[in-house]
A and B are shown apart, each in its own frame.
Chain A
Amino acid sequence: MKIGVPKALLNFYYGPFWETFFEELGMEVVLSEDTNKEIIDAGVRESVPEICVPIKIFIGHVLNLLEKDVDYVFIPRMVSINEGEIFCPKFMGLPDMIRHGLEGLEDKVLTCHIKSESDDISDYSNYLSIGNTLGISKEKIKKAAKVAGEHWKKFRNYNKNGYTALESYNLVYGKGKLKGRNNRKKGIKIGLLGYVYNVYDSFVNMDILNKLKELNVEFITFDMIDEDELRNNIDDMDKVLFWTFSNKLLGAGYKFFRDMEVDGVIHITAFGCGPDSFLGKLLEIESDETQIPFMTLRIDEHTGENHLQTRIEAFVDMLKRKKLKAI
């Protein structure tokens, strides 16, 4: 049986888990192609106009998988991975939206509720409904979830050791090579904030990671930081946000600003993102207070025509000048 897995949204975080899980169940895993113009165009065509770009892209990936004749498309319902917090409404309603909003998907959505107390989502009970749909025994589900969980932890360990999620993905599959010891360059360092699907989808963000490398800029993303540390940084707030990944970004942002370990912070956000409207405001306030420069890059569906790259160059130039002056 062919299970399609969209390479979008949280696949940049949980992909190694989900792929391994289905492989362990003896399924053929079919991944959608890397985001490209056709995928975006198809997604835009089939979405309600006001919805955020990442969801449009996700829809494009689902359609891409349909073309590949998969039996099911895997669309988990992300509910909670931290007590008292939830996911952005669009994640929680994602299977509904795809099932009832797109033609030909009514019986093709393979879904399950994901609820967990931490980022580790390997508790097999999350996946029993998949077993029901596919006619697979509880034992098998249990075993597959366990193997997948271990695989995912390896991936996260690389990630938390300073590799990007993309590098970690390759490493955990035995591709790519380890970096030498990271000797702190004298250049500048940037805190790069954004959801995994904005930071790691190189097509939509105009390959910002490589751009930064070209410019000789070191960067750190939220996923490279330990979950507990992210949490510690927002512990003193009266009330945190409702959405876990937004809170992770906020924790990372507060750390960047307060530890003074970066020269500047870039927030990559997507057009139409609701949670980021508040997150951005909180970061702005923090930037004003700490005087660490902050820039928001907004990605939209008309990539290629925008000026992300020039804006990054200008920002980096400014940081470099600022640093020179300080010395």
Chain B
Amino acid sequence: MKISFPYMGTVVIYKKLLELLGHEVIVPPRPSQKTIDLGVKHSPEFACFPFKVIMGSYIEACEMGADTIVTSGGHGPCRAGFYGEIHKRVLKNLGYDTEVIIIDSFNRNRKKVMENIMKLKGNNSWLKLSKAVKFTYDMIQEIDKFDKKIREIKPYEVKPGSVDRAWEKIQKEFDNAYSKRELKKAVKRSNEIINSLEISRIDERDRIRIGIVGEIYVVMESSINMEIEKVLGELGCEVERGHYLSEWVDFNLVPSFLKKSHEEEIIKKGEKYIEIIIGGHAKQTVGGIVDFKDRGFDGIIHLMPFACLPELVTQSIIPKISKEHDIPILSLSIDEQTGKANNLTRIEAFIDLIRNKKLNKYSA
């Protein structure tokens, strides 16, 4: 089996899990303009943007010889829950003989989920499977810690670009780790990499911290969100996202009696504005805004795919949250047609506004 998967965020992780199970893994290329063009061409015109990018990415994977694609059926029920079904039909239409394995939420269809897990498990023992899962789980937790750290120090790098290069190196370290011991070593090495960076500290008052909330795919996948974290870093801002893979896993896959996920708390914080789970991550988005504010962040950027259903509900409510919590929020929607330049200008203006607001606060 030559397995591939949808490209999102730190892909080292999915690769690792599948490799540990002895599969041959095809990592699709990081989404590029070509990926997007391919996806747009072969998707329904009004499908959501993540659908189109993933479509393109699947086609690229098939071209590279993938015969199987694994994906999740999507949780917070929205269109994403049906992505796989349509992707499957399009691939078939294009003549690719690729199997699409969709791992649905356990509650929806237990039998089917087990069937699919068995396919991935192959001849491995259950022990091996659970070890592999545990290992990857630990790894995500570690990688995410570094991911956060990197965004915290990026604005203060002395040598331009040094932090980005460090992040590349760190990901490689993890990519090379296949055992518990190696994972430990990767963590140690990564710490060393971080510590060797030259960082200039600034006054606490001058720190600007931005939270990024919104739809999970555009928040996590830097190749389609204009590398917003890097852009903000270069503008002198520390950045934290509302979505990390580790948190997604805690919330969606780890039973709640084992671990109370951070995401649950966040969802509570959004209750006032959106009462129930309406699909996608709308509730996490509103809760995330309140949470970032509570933790002293200076501004929020809300990212959504163009015409995203649940995030449009969020977007309608944002002016009020912004006012009630006194926090500036910039909402940007992204798709194949949105001009990058225009968005970048808006981001710059937004950061200027925050900086001025902060200056006024301290000078008054």
User: Which A positions have Cβ atoms within 8 angstroms of B?
Assistant: 47-48, 50-52, 77, 79, 84, 86, 88-90, 92-93, 95-97, 100-101, 113, 238-239, 241-242, 272-278, 280-282, 285
Contacts and interface: CB of A to CB of B under 8 A. Distances in A.
Contacts of B320: 100-101
B20 interface: no
Nearest to A97: B316
B81 A93 contact: no
Interface stretch (B148-156, B195-203, B278-286, B289-297): B278-286
Contacts of A93: 274, 278, 282, 310, 313
B22 interface: no
B47 A277 contact: yes
A285 B90 CA distance: 10
Contact of A274 (B108, B275, B307): B307
A184 B321 CA distance: 57
A84 B77 CA distance: 10
B87 to A, nearest CB: 11
A218 B46 CA distance: 30
Interface of B: 44-48, 73, 77-79, 81-82, 85-86, 89, 102, 104, 108, 273-280, 282, 306-310, 312-313, 315-317, 319-321, 333
Contacts, number: 102
Contact of B79 (A48, A77, A274): A274
Contacts of B333: 50
B79 to A, nearest CB: 6
Contact of A242 (B46, B78, B274, B321): B78
A93 B309 CA distance: 10
A122 to B, nearest CB: 22
A96 B317 contact: yes
Contact of A96 (B81, B102, B274, B308): B274
A93 B321 CA distance: 15
Contacts of B104: 239
Q: Which 8 A-B pairs have the closest CB atoms?
A: A277-B46, A93-B313, A101-B316, A92-B278, A89-B279, A89-B310, A93-B278, A89-B309
Contact of A101 (B45, B46, B317): B317
Contact of B276 (A77, A273, A277): A77
A28 B317 CA distance: 30
B57 to A, nearest CB: 19
Nearest to A277: B46
A238 B101 CA distance: 12
B313 A96 contact: yes
Nearest to A50: B307
Contacts of A101: 316-317, 319-320
Contact of B312 (A50, A84, A239, A280): A50
Given A86-B77, A242-B82, A278-B86, A97 B307 contact: no
Nearest to B314: A93
A80 to B, nearest CB: 10
19 contacts: A48-B316, A50-B306, A50-B315, A51-B307, A89-B278, A89-B313, A93-B274, A93-B310, A93-B313, A95-B275, A97-B316, A113-B276, A272-B307, A274-B79, A274-B307, A274-B308, A277-B46, A281-B89, A282-B86
User: For chain B, what secondary structure do more than half of its interface residues adopt (helix, strand, loop), or is it mixed?
Assistant: loop
Nearest to B47: A277
Given A97-B313, A274-B79, A278-B47, 16 more contacts: A48-B316, A50-B306, A51-B316, A79-B276, A89-B313, A92-B277, A93-B282, A93-B310, A96-B313, A100-B317, A238-B85, A239-B85, A272-B307, A274-B308, A277-B46, A280-B44
Contact of A275 (B79, B310, B321): B79
> Which of B279, B282, B306 is packed against the most chain A CB atoms within 10 Å?
B279
Nearest to A98: B316
Nearest to B306: A50
A278 B102 CA distance: 17
Given A89-B310, A239-B85, A97 B317 contact: yes
Nearest to B83: A278
Nearest to B92: A285
A238 B81 CA distance: 13
A47 B44 CA distance: 25
Contacts of A51: 307, 312, 316
Contacts of B89: 281, 285
A269 to B, nearest CB: 9
A113 B277 CA distance: 12
B312 A90 contact: yes
A89 B85 CA distance: 20
> Which of A95, A113, A242 is packed against the most chain B CB atoms within 10 Å?
A242
A89 B309 CA distance: 6
A98 to B, nearest CB: 9
A93 B278 CA distance: 6
A285 B78 CA distance: 22
A49 to B, nearest CB: 9
A89 B274 CA distance: 11
Contact of A90 (B309, B317, B321): B309
Contacts of B280: 89
B279 A92 contact: yes
A276 B108 contact: no
A90 B321 CA distance: 18
Contacts of B44: 277-278, 280-281
Given A77-B276, A101-B316, A89 B47 contact: no
B134 to A, nearest CB: 30
A284 to B, nearest CB: 8
Contacts of A113: 276
A96 B320 CA distance: 11
